[in-house]
Amino acid sequence: MRSIADQTDDELGGPGSVLVRQRRDHVELDRLLSELDGAAGVAQEEVLNRIDRLVFSHAFAEETVLWPVIRRVLPDGDALTLQVEEEHQEVNELVTALERDGLDSPERPARLRRLTEVLREDVRDEEDVLFPRLQEALSAAELRALGRRWELMRRISPTRPHPTVSRRPPGNALSGLPLSLIDRTRDVVDAGVRRVPDRFAPAGRALSQGLAGLAGLVERLPLSRTGDGPPTSR
């Protein structure tokens, strides 16, 4: 099997194929990780925010749309997707810890290194193993149809870490829309805080924290946690 990194768009099913869409996000992630490596302080936080918005919506759509298909069409699909789900879970936990402990945490450099490692491992597992197997099992037309479904889900998926939410249906599907609305509102609020005069910033930060608390309530609902199992359940 050839890695999707080494194939043309036509070989992968055309521009609308889920494999082409996935690879496009992976290229952007690689660019952002390189930018993160040379950033510090507030600039580093801004790059991390862009990584978050890319990674979490991408992964949530994978878990909701792609992984159920892979588990259905591949005999070892459950084991293959579980490995990637474990990587997604670790990314959720690392970013949650980075947000919680802030810029001055002594553990921050090690967490950032590990985050970069896991994200790159995730890309390699998908491009070199998982997606070539999916490519063998589906036609080009099916890959394009799956790409449309994945793109739609990506546009309405959460953009922040939610480590206690199930990595599998029905919990992820049920929690996706409310968490997406909260996360995307927080994204707007946080962007505004960075632009407004300092005297208005505390109110914006308080609103963002309130939204974070609301997201935490959604995460802990029993329905949000259904469908998951060890080792990714929390």
Six-digit token pair at 122?
């995730």
SS percent in the chain: helix, strand, coil, step 5: 75, 0, 25
Per-residue pLDDT of the chain (234 residues; tens, 9 = 90+): 899 999 999 999 999 999 999 999 999 999 999 999 989 988 999 999 999 999 999 999 999 999 999 999 999 999 999 999 999 999 999 999 999 998 899 999 999 999 999 999 999 999 999 999 999 999 999 999 999 999 999 999 999 999 999 999 999 999 999 999 999 999 999 989 888 888 888 999 999 999 999 999 999 999 999 998 777 877
Does a structural domain hold residue 74? yes
Residue 83's pLDDT is 94
Query: Alpha carbon 99 to chain centroid distance?
Result: 16
Six-digit token pair at 27?
């290229």
Does a structural domain hold residue 210? yes
Does a structural domain hold residue 82? yes
- Residue-range definition of the domain harbouring residue 101: 4-225
DSSP per residue, 40-64: -HHHHHHHHHHHHHHHHHHHHHIII
Residue 195's pLDDT is 84
What CA–CA distances, in Å, run from 120 to 88, 123, 141, 191?
12, 5, 29, 27
Does a structural domain hold residue 230? no
Does a structural domain hold residue 36? yes
Does a structural domain hold residue 234? no
28, burial (CB in 10 Å: exposed 0-12, middle 13-18, buried 19+):
middle
Does a structural domain hold residue 231? no
Does a structural domain hold residue 140? yes
pTM: 0.94
Count how many domains the chain has.
1
